[in-house]
Amino acid sequence: MKPKYHFFANARFAFEGVLAMLKRETAFRIELAIILPAMIISFFLPIDLIAHLFLLAVLFLILILEAVNSSIEACVDLITPNFAPLAKIAKDCASAAVLFSVILALLVWGVILFSMWDRV
């Protein structure tokens, strides 16, 4: 039987997930070390609200996909601790999603910063 939904209990589970990633995922820690300063810097840029939201959204997207990637890797490792070609494909595709989000973030930041520099 599925337990009843409790907002605070479920929020606690989410924070436990963040702590698990901080403890176990080096990539997450590196991304966070780059993303947090970038988010802070974005507040000081002379850009409009929509551009600022885009800058923040693409950074959050990286963290979201890193969480999904970590969960896929954990599930695959739980199912098969041995090497399996399909397990490798699942892990590689999840990792590719993170890579695509990083590329998107670099493109968005590049376009917005270039347009800001072009106005000067």
Give the position of tokens 């997930």. 17
- Which of 16, 31, 66, 73 does the annotation list as catalytic? 66
In 1-120, DSSP assigns E strands to none
d(CA 105, CA 99): 10
Asked whether 89 and 73 are in contact (CB, 8 A), the reply is no
66 in active site: yes
Tell me which amino acid residue 92 is: D
d(CA 86, CA 105): 29
Query: Any idea which residues carry the catalytic annotation?
Result: 66
